[in-house]
Structure 1
Amino acid sequence: MRASPHGFDGRNASGRPRTQSDQHNDTAVSGGHVGAVVQAGAVHGDLHVHSPSAPGIPRQIPPAPRNFTDRETESERIGAAATAAPDDGSPRVVVLTGPGGVGKTALAASFLHAVTDSFPDGLLYSDLRGFAEDGPVDPAGVLDGFLRTMSADPARIALDPAGRAAQFRSGTAGRRMALLLDNAASAAQVRLLLPGAGAHLVLVTTRLRLAGLAADGAVFVEVDPLGRTAAARLVERVLGAERARGEAEAVERLVALCGRLPLALCAAASPLSLRPRQSVRGLADRLADERGRLARLSREEDLSVRTSLDASYAALSGAGRRLYRGLGHVAGPDTCLPAMAALSDAGAEEAEAAADELVAANLLEEHAPGRFRQHDLNRLHARRLLEDEESAAERERARRRLTDHYLDSAVNADLALNPGRWHLAPRYAEERGGQRFDGRDAALAWLEAELANLRAWVAVCRDEGRGEASWQLCEALRSLFVQRKHFDAWSETFTAGLAAARALDDPAAQAFMLDGLGVLRLHRGEPAAAREPLRASLELWTRAGHDLGRASALEDSGVAELALGAPAAAAEHFAWAMRIHRRLGRRRGIALMRRRLGEAARDRGDHPAAEGHFRAALEYFTEADEPYMRLRTLVGLAACRLATGADAGAALGDALRIAAALGADAEAAGAHVLMADAAAAEDRTADEREHLTSAASIYSRLRPPRAEEIQRRIDALPPP
């Protein structure tokens, strides 16, 4: 391992009766809502599909700032703490404390970029938003993201924060990773995110002392404003040495007026870098006047940042100022160019030019291609400008445009992701504007990238009286939630959507939200808890006179009964739903209920009846149109044939081929187990071993307990 510049030399799908442990992963839910889904993540039925953006070794640290200056002393202290990590194999925690805008994140990011090779197992990042207006993030959600980044099966991530923390410690134990926990609000928030035993480095930035972390062996590094010489050197980097040295006295005044804070200095000086004929002296004079005015009108503790941001804002073009103000509406952690265009009521090229202007002025950061975020002080500043410079009507129009952008884009993504599902919201029929997506992978990637923003906007719409948008956003997110198991976001958004639907007194919208909350409980392995919201959903669908909704609630209720070991009750629900589909002439719904009835008959032990239902479903679920549904049905059919001693080779062969084409790892593993069962029945030990080995290889990645079970079966076989 090469030395760093800082001297840190870093070193259930088998068809057998379901168990409670299987129900958490193997609950197939609502064909009326789910349809043919074959995208990334652990999907209902324990389907696991390779993500289009499947992570390798994570490298999440924000880009190193362009004009990072000095900080040698602080970097050496971080390096000294990091060097100690290999000594006892325990994580080292370094807390960088200092005022807002002093450059704590820039210091941490620069250090970690310099020592990336010292952390072969990856670098993780989270903005804990400890000083955001809407409050800090829940560390449980951060852990969910970290575990997904480390390729954990989403369906196996614990539901409670302590369970997730334990999984994270287990997953990081023995590794060598670095974490940057930005803008921490408390020691408790950080402590839940600490990795397991290993030579890890955890950098924490905060404006607070967080003395509670001393018990975890934390090293505290004070990050003060730059020294006068270092601050002047930063201005030189922004303006160019010749220009800065030519007005050395004015640069000294600028440094003092900006409080030697890097954020303020870059914000103030960056506009001058684009205007070579303007003098530093003129800027310093304007800043002095503005600071004096603000000091008379404001009680802000630190006027340096506000003064500098005002000056930088004044130097922007009209389009740049409009976009900067518009970013004050953003509720989530970042934004993208189409959302910026909506906020500015501008075309794509104009929005991109304005964004480039803000990036050049150090008022915005492009943290990933096409994705932008602001420092929390910038966002506060933008929100003040919104109040000062735009009327209530103008602000409302901008928020409506952003709502339309999010809703139309999410609807289009959902249509690309899951075209077989029926829809309640009228936007689906209209297919209004919004982004168009080139296939399911692109739609899934957009939904994942925007999830935090969409999640925040569901709550904004509920709180601001845009109830229809709130629940319709939830509907557009449902397929994503089913496929990627974002349980926290699912619960939060559908609870908000339900409140919005109740405020509207819309029984169909309420029914959809309740059904979604019931399905969530099924996916979390809580079928008994699913009964009540599903019952309430069915009542509301009936009140609304919505037959498709009734069929879906009946199907989901049947799935709950299956999971609870009541196949006869499940069959009644499925048969009732099928009668509705037949009356409506919905061939797909009929086929899906035949598959469901096959599952119920299988669980009752009536394998001939189950085989008849599965075969009827296969007539509709073709490989070309519905490969996932065909795969599920083939596995069910094969299990039934094996149970009666019939040949299942053709069905299993087709299932394995389709699973391979879809990247459906868990379904492939289940098929291999069934093929091993068939081989065992015929005393073909070599074939049995081969299929069990293939299944164990897959389960070792997806479900380690099942892998251990399969390995015990392999070990029990006679030697080859």
Structure 2
Amino acid sequence: MVQAQSVHGDLHVYAAQPGPVPAVPRQLPASPAVFTGRMSELAALDHALIATTPGGRESAAVLISAIGGVGGIGKTWLALAWAHRNLHRFPHGQLFVDLQGFSPSGRPVEAADAVRGFLHSLGADPDGLPSGLDALSALYRSSVAGRRMLIVLDNAATAEQVVPLLPGSPTCTVLVTGRTTLPTLIDRYGAHHLQLDVLTHDEARELLTTRLDQRAEADPEATGELIGLCGRHPLALAIIARQAITRPRVPLAELAVELGDLALEVLDHDTDPAGSLPAVLSWSLRHFTGRQRRAFALLGIAPGPDIGLPAAYRLLGLSPADARRVLRVLEDSSLLDRRPDGRYSMHDLVRAYAASIAHHSLPEPVRRAASDRIVDFYLHTAHTAERLLNPHREPIRPVPGSRSRPPTGHADALDWLEVHHPHLLAAQRTAASLGRHEAVWRLAWALSTFHQRREHHHDALAVWQGAAEAASHLPDPAAGTIARERLGRAHAELGRHEEAVRLLHQALDLAGRHDDRTQQAHAHRVLTRVWEIRNDHQRALVHAREALRLFRDLAEPAWVANALNSVGWFSAHLGDHGTARDHCRQALEVYRHHSSASGVADTLHSLGYIDFLSGNHHDAISHYRQALAVYRDLGYSIPAAGTLHDLGHSHLGLGQRDETRAVWNEALELYRQQGHRTAADRVRRQLDKLLSAGHDATI
């Protein structure tokens, strides 16, 4: 304080000179030239911005939104599109920095350098800035305090890059983009995490249509194929659009063929890393340890569309705890998606890149060992599941031990096979590529009952074609005989009668030359089905009786019961109901003695059909309902649907139209669920006839 004791002359009072006007930075790069879709993500960012406390006051904390996702998914595009749409909310400016966490240079921006850049943009004298990071950050927070500003921190790799750039004032909003989950931002600063996925199909089509205009509209089929091959990945779509624009004489259909054949090669670029999908993806691996890189690569060659934890342990050759840690790193890096069912999957293009890393970077013995482990895991577990589904089937030599979590019961086995069916098909192809002929054959064998129960005839044909080729390399002649039997069955189910008969007579001849009466019996058993499909019940009965004779000689009670049921079934079709009933009752007794639930159900269905043909509709309904209960317990949807269909005819025979309608509607729904369109259409026609007054719905 200064006190004046005397004043001489005039007294003048001046207003204080105003301080310097704060700089208003406008650092945002231009809004994306082509931005489509992402409406729900934009709305989520809007919602986070306008959220208030229950009392209507603004939050006391800085709003931070962290946008995550795999490389090229469109994180920066989304951040910039949202920022430009909301410029009016930030009148005091916008700051932007590319932290280069994932970039061609491989040198992330230091937090101190980023803070200095921000302070310079805010009008600070570069020569007067403190040297330490903490002091720089404090000055930065003071400079933006109370100002309505947007700070975009793009391409961040670590929380260490981001935290010093966070303002302290709740008037500021922060957008962070990066490929990795940043736990510190979420845990300590309450960041809203927004994980980006691929575009929807409509959004992807809009992107290509916007870029290619009339070319995309003129060839919608090729456009759709390009979208599918790109997996709706934004950068992949942008690269394909660029190639179409720069090669205007190349039809889109030709580009689609090229992309289908060459995949990642088409999406690569020799001189512009940012325009190359493989290069962009490669930047995510720079921070990985050797174990993490190896795991990423091996997941690219794992058979099947995804992988569960038990299979992942075997593939990676790690303990469960170590495997979980590695998978979590890949998930946090947006290279692996964990689904609600606990399974892990990769985007197709990420998977293709991982496979390329495996083939070009991993030593062949490492790849081979991993492939052997995963094939053994699937083979061992599938073999166990098959034995649970069909315990009375003639066993093959036990599969060598492999650590697994085998199914524990019939329902568990069926569920496991349902989930892992595509993995087992792929595992067989992997085994074939490794020259593991016995594993190829065993996988076909392990899928047989499942394919038959689910009526996956095309898949059965494919696996047994592979098994037949593998059998030519195996010492046991029975392998070739069984492969021909199974191929014959698959061809018959697909309506290829002549080929089925040819293969089955080859099997009979081969079994006869090696005096293999067991396989002779099975060949006759399959021939009964071949002739049944042709509605030649007389020939089917001949083969059923021959199979019965051979199985009795072999003292195979479960297969004796199967043959007894077949003789009864075909005798019923030929009008010999007494013989039919007698054989089926014998079969039922044997099946019950040996606790074969599926055999019991099949035979109860046969007895119901015999009762129906005999006009004993009440008995037929009783037998059908007993069979239906067992099929439902076993989870056998197709046999259950067939039984419901036949049950409806028995109800109709008693004039019970409401009951008929109810069970046929159940059958229709089951057929639709399993994709059996022909059977569903047949039931639908019968229901239509039933609803037509005065018409008989029988066929």
**Which amino acid letter does the alignment assign opposite residue 348 of structure 1?**
P
Give the corresponding residue for 1:698: 666
Separation of aligned partners in 1, 2:356 and 2:686: 60
Give the corresponding residue for 2:646: 670
Superimposed CA distance per residue, residues 594-649 of structure 1 (whole angstroms, 9 cap, x where no aligned partner): 1101122112222221121112112123399334332332332233344445x453
| Change beyond 3 A, Cα 1:582–1:234 | farther
Q: Is the 8 A contact 1:652 1:675 kept in 2?
A: yes
Q: Which piece of structure 1 moves more, 405-414 or 648-657? A: 648-657
Separation of aligned partners in 1, 2:591 and 2:519: 22
Separation of aligned partners in 2, 1:414 and 1:641: 33
Are 2:657 and 1:689 equivalent residues in the alignment? yes
| Change beyond 3 A, Cα 1:707–1:590 | same
2:296 to 321, 324, 348: 324
Give the corresponding residue for 1:708: 685
Q: Is the 8 A contact 2:564 2:586 kept in 1?
A: yes
* TM-score normalised by length of structure 1: 0.56
Give the corresponding residue for 2:564: 594
How many residues align structurally? Answer: 463
Shift of 1:659: 0.9
| Change beyond 3 A, Cα 1:709–1:668 | closer
Secondary structure of residue in 2 paired with 1:74: coil
Are 2:380 and 1:467 equivalent residues in the alignment? no
Separation of aligned partners in 2, 1:244 and 1:671: 74
Secondary structure of residue in 2 paired with 1:565: coil
> Alpha carbon RMSD of aligned pairs, Å?
4.1
Give the corresponding residue for 1:567: 537
Shift of 1:340: 1.8
1:354 to 326, 340, 348: 326
Separation of aligned partners in 2, 1:611 and 1:480: 29
Secondary structure of residue in 2 paired with 1:235: strand
Give the corresponding residue for 1:74: 35
Give the corresponding residue for 1:656: 625
Shift of 1:670: 0.9
Separation of aligned partners in 1, 2:77 and 2:531: 55
Greater Rg over alpha carbons, structure: 2
Structure 2 segments unaligned to the other structure (5+ residues)? 1-30, 41-69, 79-148, 168-174, 189-267, 633-639, 672-679
Shift of 1:457: 2.4
Shift of 1:481: 1.5
Separation of aligned partners in 2, 1:106 and 1:452: 36
Separation of aligned partners in 2, 1:624 and 1:308: 61
Superimposed CA distance per residue, residues 205-258 of structure 1 (whole angstroms, 9 cap, x where no aligned partner): xxxxxxxxxxxxxxxxxxxxxxxx9995453597489437379xxxxxxx9xxx
Q: Is the 8 A contact 1:666 1:698 kept in 2?
A: no
1:315 to 262, 280, 287: 287
Give the corresponding residue for 2:335: 363
Are 2:404 and 1:427 equivalent residues in the alignment? no
Q: Is the 8 A contact 1:507 1:543 kept in 2?
A: no
Separation of aligned partners in 1, 2:652 and 2:401: 47
Bigger RCO of structures 1 and 2 (CA < 8 A, at least 6 apart): 1
Superimposed CA distance per residue, residues 9-45 of structure 1 (whole angstroms, 9 cap, x where no aligned partner): xxxxxxxxxxxxxxxxxxxxxxxxxxxxxxxxxxxxx
Task: Give the 5 Å matches for 1:33-112.
Answer: 74-76=35-37, 101-103=71-73
1:335 to 292, 297, 307: 307
Secondary structure of residue in 2 paired with 1:444: helix
| Change beyond 3 A, Cα 1:378–1:707 | closer
| Change beyond 3 A, Cα 1:660–1:715 | farther
Shift of 1:476: 1.3
Shift of 1:74: 3.2
**Which amino acid letter does the alignment assign opposite residue 535 of structure 1?**
H
Separation of aligned partners in 2, 1:315 and 1:271: 16
Shift of 1:557: 0.5
**Which amino acid letter does the alignment assign opposite residue 361 of structure 1?**
S
Shift of 1:356: 1.0
Q: Percent identity?
A: 22
Q: Is the 8 A contact 2:608 2:620 kept in 1?
A: yes
| Change beyond 3 A, Cα 1:484–1:230 | farther
Separation of aligned partners in 1, 2:342 and 2:512: 45
Separation of aligned partners in 1, 2:438 and 2:74: 41
Are 2:631 and 1:631 equivalent residues in the alignment? no
Shift of 1:381: 4.4
Secondary structure of residue in 1 paired with 2:339: strand
Q: Which piece of structure 1 moves more, 300-309 or 605-614? A: 300-309
Structure 1 segments unaligned to the other structure (5+ residues)? 1-69, 80-99, 109-228, 248-254, 277-297, 680-684
Q: Is the 8 A contact 1:323 1:340 kept in 2?
A: no
Separation of aligned partners in 1, 2:290 and 2:185: 18
Q: Is the 8 A contact 2:605 2:623 kept in 1?
A: no
Secondary structure of residue in 2 paired with 1:533: helix
Give the corresponding residue for 2:481: 511
Separation of aligned partners in 2, 1:700 and 1:314: 54
Q: Is the 8 A contact 1:366 1:373 kept in 2?
A: yes
* TM-score normalised by length of structure 2: 0.58
| Change beyond 3 A, Cα 1:315–1:537 | same
